[in-house]
Amino acid sequence: MRKFLAVFIVLAFTAGLAAQAQQQGNPAQKQAALNVTGKWTMTLEMSMGTGTPTLDLKQDGEKITGTYTGRYGTSQLAGTLKERTIEFTVTMVAEGESVSMSFGGQVAEDGQTMKGTAVLGELGDATWTAKKEKTTDTPSPGF
């Protein structure tokens, strides 16, 4: 009888742990669901003023690629997204000079906003925020 009771207690405890883990979910699985693919509107606060570039991001696992479009045209970007930490670099040509910019920040849990800091080469440091543009799945008119 004692053996039966001990086995029952172990099984009940194990089942309770499994149910708790299932309720909480696997954090790695929750993080894997975060995807920054899409178009983003950015606000870039610099000592010389505010810029409003756009980002067009593509995500493949932790790898981020895409474009940064601002005052001086469109430039390629590359970086990573690890859990909620995003980092990417952009090298653009501004007024004949090559400028390398590094961005780092955090993506919100809902994946719709992000914010951080940037080093804009000789242009100095900046802070930034970005908001994901809503996608419209409007049916085509068919003509």
Confidence of residue 115 (pLDDT cuts 50, 70, 90): very high
Q: Is residue 13 part of a domain?
A: no
CATH code for the domain of 90:
2.40.128.120
Q: Find tokens 């149910």 and name the residue.
A: 19
Instruction: Scan for tokens 């995807």, then name that residue.
Output: 35
Q: Which stretch of 10-14, 36-40, 42-46 has the lowest confidence by average pLDDT?
A: 10-14
Q: Would 28 be classed as within a structural domain?
A: no
**Whether this model's pTM surpasses 0.75:** no
Alpha-carbon distance of 9 to 50, in angstroms, equals 63
Tell me the average pLDDT of the chain. 82
Confidence of residue 33 (pLDDT cuts 50, 70, 90): low
**Paired strand residues for 125:** 119
> Where in the sequence is the domain holding 94, given as residue range(s)?
35-132
4 domain-assigned: no
> Span 13-23, mean pLDDT?
48
Residue 79 to residue 96: CA distance in whole angstroms: 25
Whole-number pLDDT of residue 62: 96
Whether the Cβ atoms of residue 36 and residue 114 lie closer than 8 Å to each other: yes
